Each structure stands twice: as structure tokens, then as C-alpha cells.
Amino acid sequence: MKAILLCAGYGTRLYPLTINTPKTLLEVKGKTLLELLIDNIEPIKDIDEIVIVSNQRFYQNFCDFKPQISSSKKITILNDETTSNEDRLGAIGDIKFALDQLKYKGEIMVLAGDNWFDFTLSELYDFYIQHNKNTVIFGENKSDKKVLQAGGVAILDKNNMVLQMEEKPKEPQGTFAVGPFYIYNAKTVKLLDTYLASGGSPDAPGYFPAWLSKRQPVYAFDIYPRHYVDIGTPEAYYNIESTIDNLQK
């Protein structure tokens, strides 16, 4: 299995923090988000390579940082050669780009590079192995409609299989927020071409599992009572350490 880390965004919502620094290299409690991600991937023995997808603007930042990464796994940094928000490939476009560059069609774990979370990816991986099906994560959110509108929202059956999923809904039909953590089997990886050729959006990563759930079983791993936090604005970043402290009480 390959772990694909989506780090090719331009972080415009985080300006001025990310004018010269990719958001994945921002620090939280003394470690970059990238290091926290890789530390969490490390115990999963079946993952043999971690693929960091960057853009032209920040590619050298990741190359310069690579010697500081501590991991037993192969670390590959890819440059999707985009230079701005206007010509970016989008999250799903970057997944396809990485697969093409690697000439790889096997299982993948896909992770966004701008989240803090306190569950282990080993738990997510074990859930995937148990069900032997494509896997997403979810947490219930009944109080903040804006959070639901900003990501994926799923309706699940009693076994946590996705019955319906919508990315960035204007009017959320459920309260299960789906975060940017995905595991896809080899059969599904081959469907990325079909999805994109049929006009599927290459942008936010949740559009693909929403499309997929109508064609193949997709299961959702419940992270409760744990959490993930999207560090999408300067305010969210400046408050992240106090947020973490409050969540861990």
C-alpha cells in the first residue's frame, strides 16, 4: 500500500502564514503537520512508501525538509508543476497524477496534509482490513452547519456502510461529517480514470467517494470519541494548541 499525502494546495485562506511556507510544514506543538502525519503512518507495516504531492511553488520546501523526516518507509516527493490556485490539479487530480508518476495501481491511503487529529491511522487501516472495502472516516456533528457544508456529509446504515454522500452540500441531509482520510482497494483505484473521464470534479477529495458509494460498497470508520481539526484559517491555526488542550481534557 502507498500513502498519498495531498500537500499541493496554496493555503490562500491561511495567508500570511503560508505565503512562503506550505501549510503542511506549519508546526503544532513543536512538530510540523507533515511529521505528525508520517509518525502516524509509521506503524502500518503494509505501507511501504509515503508519497508527498507538492506544487512547483513549494516543491523545494519539501525537498529541503526531507532530511528532517524520520521514517523507515521510502519517502517520495512529487511536483505536480502547478504554480497557482488557478492552474492547480485539485485533490483528485493530484491523486491521479501521483498514481501515473509511480505507475502504480494498487491499494492507497489518501490523506490531506492540513489536519490535526488524535485517532491513529492504524485503527483506520484495521477497520479497512476487517471490512475489506473502501473506507472513509466520519464524526457526528449536530451543532455546526458550516462544518458540514465545508466537507463531505454521509448517511449510513446500521453497519456504517455509506448509503448516500455529498461533498460540500448547501443543505446537509445528515449530521455525519466525512473527513479527508480515505483507503481505496486496487479495484477502486482503477475507477479514478472512469470517474474523471465521466466529468467528475478533480477538486475536493470527497467528490470521488461520493460518486463511488453509488457503485461500490464504501464503509465509514467512526472516530468518536476522537477528533480531527481542519487548520484552514489563521484563527484556526493560532487557536489550535488551545483547541487540542481542550479536546484532550
Residue 18 has pLDDT above 90, yes or no: yes
The whole domain housing 134 covers 2-247
Q: What is the pLDDT of residues 93-132, one digit of tens each?
A: 999 999 999 999 999 999 999 899 999 999 999 999 999 8
Q: Are 3 and 50 in contact (CB under 8 A)?
A: yes
pLDDT of residue 143: 67
- Check which CATH number belongs to the domain holding 178 and give it: 3.90.550.10
Residue 87 has pLDDT above 80, yes or no: yes
Q: What is the pLDDT of residues 197-208, one digit of tens each?
A: 999 999 989 999
Residue 228 or residue 123, greater confidence: 123
How does the average pLDDT of the chain come out, rounded?
93
CA distances from 49 to 24, 70, 102, 106 (A): 18, 13, 11, 12
**Total structural domains in the chain?**
1
What band does 1 get if pLDDT is binned at 50, 70 and 90? very high
User: pTM of the prediction?
Assistant: 0.94
pLDDT of residue 211: 95
Q: What is the pLDDT of residues 164-198, one digit of tens each?
A: 999 988 998 888 999 899 999 999 999 999 999 99
Report the alpha-carbon distance of residue 183 to residue 111 in Å, rounded.
9
Rounded to whole angstroms, the maximal C-alpha distance in the chain is 47
Per cent of the chain over pLDDT 90 is 76
Beta bridge partners, 143, equal none
